[in-house]
Structure 1
Amino acid sequence: MRTVLVSGGGIAGPALAYWLNRHGFAVTVVERGTGLRPGGQAVDVRGVALDVIERMGLLPEARAARTTMRGMSVLDADGKEIHRSTEATYSSGRLDSDDIEVLREDLVRMIHERTREDVEYLFGDTVTALDEDEKGVRVDFARAESRTFDLVVGADGLHSTVRRLAFGPEERFSHHLGSYLSVFGTDNFLALEDWQVWLRDGDIGYGIMPVRGNTELRVAFGFESGPLARDADALRGIVTERLASLRWEGARLAEAALHAPDFYCDAMAQIRMDHWSRGRVALLGDAGYCPSPLSGQGTSLALVGAHVLAGCLAQSPGDHAAVFTRYEERMRPFVALNQSLATENPGGPAAEESVELAKNALSLDG
């Protein structure tokens, strides 16, 4: 039985662990967080990614957990409605689509529940060094004892530690898209009922959606900016200050951001690399080809990439070089189309026709 270390316990890593375990690999997942991470925005599972979760047996559960929006309102800076739709929302697209919008934390939980009995999870730890030889990769951890694995996969996000250790500094591969996204939760002080509101004022704006039976709000706040230092306290301060400058509900949103335990803020950026593997180390999902939240396709790329990579490994378990070549050959056209969704229409969503093409641009059995 071949051994694989997967770094990252979000969506991509556990999805890969699920498929590798099914193919007879012994899998360890290491996650920096002390447990499953709560919070985060609603994510979309579209096109071929729906086929992946159906094959995982998760489709009925995911459909049951999907958001249930009736529509959305677009507001001006004073909170006056200037547009409304009962056919589509900015976050999920058409409401009559078969695609699924689900809270990130719910999808993470579903996949973890499918894998926790058969996959080793190391929470509260991280990779600190990789040393490869002809027999495998010796991995040092911040807490656990060093171990050797046949293969290592970095599924640890935009700021991947595995990518930095195996390929070099993030600056070589990260392409800033000119803005930042902050996501946080708060009480439903707007009394929204299955209805989103969106507001833009100059170079800042937000979308708000009710979740958990309309008892909570998830706020997605964006602002234009060049690259900023990755300092959590400083970013929270910037978000709070800019929210407070808004005329409509800015004060209450700023207060919510200031105290939110699930506060998140990071750059809108893409990862673009010539290769997603080096020796016995490969990258998956945002670590190798983050499309940015502007694409709406990060989760789908993670799910599809996990299925494709695991399938390639199952076909040639003893030849990692051939496996990783095949993985890239199959995924690169799909990744390119989905990354282009983020840049097709700066400041707005990609065309519906572009989304339809990109989300279905790969066959799982190809």
Structure 2
Amino acid sequence: MTQKSILISGAGIAGATAAFWLSRSGWNVTIVEKAAQIRSSGNPIDVRGQAASIVHQMGLWPEIQRFATGVNSLVIVDAQGRRRATVTTRTTPDPQKEVEVARATLASVLLQAATTDAELIVSDSISGIGQDVGGVDVDFTSGRSRRFDIVLGADGLHSNVRRLVFGPGGSFSRPFGMFVGTMRTTLEGGDASEVMMFNRPNISLSVHAAGGDPLAAFIFRSRDRYDRHDAEARKHLVTSAYSDQGWQTNEAVAEWCASDDVYFDEVTRIAMPSWSRGRIGLLGDAANCISLLGEGSSSAIVAAKTLSDALAAHPNDHAAAFTSYEAVHRRRLRALQRFAGASSHFLVPTSRLGLWLRNSGLALVSGRRR
């Protein structure tokens, strides 16, 4: 029997996890990644719950634990840098059930494990795609063409596969009216176990110790529109929102404008009636974006395992595999999607009253725990 082939567009967390499991269930896996290397910016993320169990099954938990940030608390500060409240960021003290790690590190560990069996193509992407009853023909920007049994788009919020197969992204995007920007920073934070966060209504600036390689994160509300390819536009958005707001906002804006390694995007929910069309399916942020508190990466790991299991169970029936995957994972997403709205108001209150109520509640909780 000829080994079935699958192309995964995107070498991030979802794509690498899917490649790992599909290779082990007998698929001939190829990963194509547009970038030459993984971006170093991006907030640290939590791996917990079912995702932690999956990483244990992959045998990668000890490796990921080596890079744990060690952060376990969030400290709210005022404009003068005075501590107003402290709250734990961990859901369990058991280091075998939860770990926080840099996004780039997690992606690298997963990809290294996946590519022991899967083929990896970097600095290339899909330029054209067409399918028939027997397979999928793919053209690459490098000029090559190949044929696969299945294609998966795990290429993020601005998925190229989704655009080529399902249509323009605006058809499925539901903006939150918020933006997120992250960068490496020299700003002073707390100790190695703390994230420091400062707010004004509609803005948040945090400094994360990140295991000795600190990160700053801007999360803010804005009705402005921007071209995501325009670096000057993103500088203007951050500058106009944060200048002269207190704490270390001016220093953060100066670093932001000088940095050439940043992440910046609009917080968006992708809402699609279906995550597959024929032999082509979507995975991770390409199919859905659901969280502001780091649950998206754990969700991507779980989704990748669910889809891989479904394709292993139905190797000759892609329609049944995609239907099974989607039915199972959509149920998981409902609670996370409902939580996304609440988490946005926790991170970025919209008024002075909302900010005072959040800080007062956190101060009360942290006082009780002392």
Shared fold per TM-score greater than 0.5? yes
Higher share in helix: 2
Q: Distance in 2 between matches of 1:3 and 1:93?
A: 40
Q: Choose 185-194 or 27-36, whichever is displaced more.
A: 185-194
Q: Distance in 2 between matches of 1:185 and 1:108?
A: 18
Q: Does 1:39 align with 2:41?
A: yes
Q: 1:343 maps to which residue?
A: 341
Is the contact made by 1:20 and 1:27 (CA closer than 8 Å) also made in structure 2? yes
Tell me the CA shift for residue 254 of structure 1: 1.2
Residue 320 and residue 300 in structure 1: after superposition, are their counterparts in 2 closer, same or farther (change >3 A)?
A: same
Q: Distance in 2 between matches of 1:302 and 1:259?
A: 32
Is the contact made by 2:179 and 2:220 (CA closer than 8 Å) also made in structure 1? yes
Q: 2:22 maps to which residue?
A: 20
Q: Distance in 2 between matches of 1:318 and 1:66?
A: 40
Q: Distance in 2 between matches of 1:58 and 1:2?
A: 26
Is the contact made by 2:128 and 2:164 (CA closer than 8 Å) also made in structure 1? yes
TM alignment of 1:73-92, pairs within 5 A:
73-85=75-87, 88-89=88-89
Q: How many residues align?
A: 342
TM alignment of 1:1-366, pairs within 5 A:
1-85=3-87, 88-89=88-89, 98-187=97-186, 189-190=188-189, 192-212=191-211, 214=212, 216-226=213-223, 228-229=225-226, 230-233=228-231, 234-292=233-291, 294-344=292-342, 346-348=344-346
Is the contact made by 1:183 and 1:265 (CA closer than 8 Å) also made in structure 2? yes
Residue 196 and residue 161 in structure 1: after superposition, are their counterparts in 2 closer, same or farther (change >3 A)?
A: same
Q: Distance in 2 between matches of 1:344 and 1:220?
A: 19
Any idea what SS the aligned residue of 1:344 has? helix
Any idea what SS the aligned residue of 1:343 has? helix
Q: Distance in 1 between matches of 2:189 and 2:336?
A: 34
Tell me the CA shift for residue 223 of structure 1: 1.1
Residue 227 and residue 162 in structure 1: after superposition, are their counterparts in 2 closer, same or farther (change >3 A)?
A: farther
% identical aligned pairs: 35
Residue 93 and residue 221 in structure 1: after superposition, are their counterparts in 2 closer, same or farther (change >3 A)?
A: farther
Q: Give a deviation string over 1:25-54, Cα, whole Å, max 9, x none.
A: 111111110122322110111211111101
Is the contact made by 2:155 and 2:285 (CA closer than 8 Å) also made in structure 1? yes
Any idea what SS the aligned residue of 1:289 has? coil
For 1:219, the aligned partner's letter is: A
Q: 1:362 maps to which residue?
A: none
Residue 24 and residue 325 in structure 1: after superposition, are their counterparts in 2 closer, same or farther (change >3 A)?
A: same
Q: Distance in 2 between matches of 1:228 and 1:99?
A: 37
Q: Give a deviation string over 1:62-118, Cα, whole Å, max 9, x none.
A: 223222125332112332322124xx03xx556667322111011011112112232
